[in-house]
Amino acid sequence: MAAVAGAALLIPTMFFSYRVGWGIYFEYVLFPKEKAEEHYIVPSRWQDFAFQAIFWTAVLILLFICFRLIRFALKSRN
C-alpha cells in the first residue's frame, strides 16, 4: 500500500515540477530575450521569487515523502 501511495504522489509531483520548470524557462529566459528586441523587459517582482521558493520547497517535501513511502514498501522485513 505504501508503494502505491508513494507512486501516486511521485508521478503528479514530477509532472507538475516539469511543467513549472518549463514555465520558468519561458517566463524568465525566453520571453525577456524576445521583449528585449522591443527594448522592454519586465522585471521580476518579489511575488515571483516567493512563489518559486514556496513551490520548490513543497515539491522537495513531496519528493522526500514519496521516497520514504517507496523505500518503506521495498524494505525487507524479517
Q: Between 35 and 2, name the one with better pLDDT.
A: 2
Measured distance CA(49)–CA(55) in Å, rounded: 10
Of 32 and 29, the structure prediction assigns the larger pLDDT to: 29
Q: What is the model's pTM?
A: 0.72
pLDDT for 60 equals: 94
> Model confidence over 37-73: pLDDT tens digits?
667 777 778 888 898 899 999 999 999 999 999 999 8
Backbone angles phi, psi at 28, to 5 degrees: -105, -20
Average pLDDT over every residue of 10-21? 91
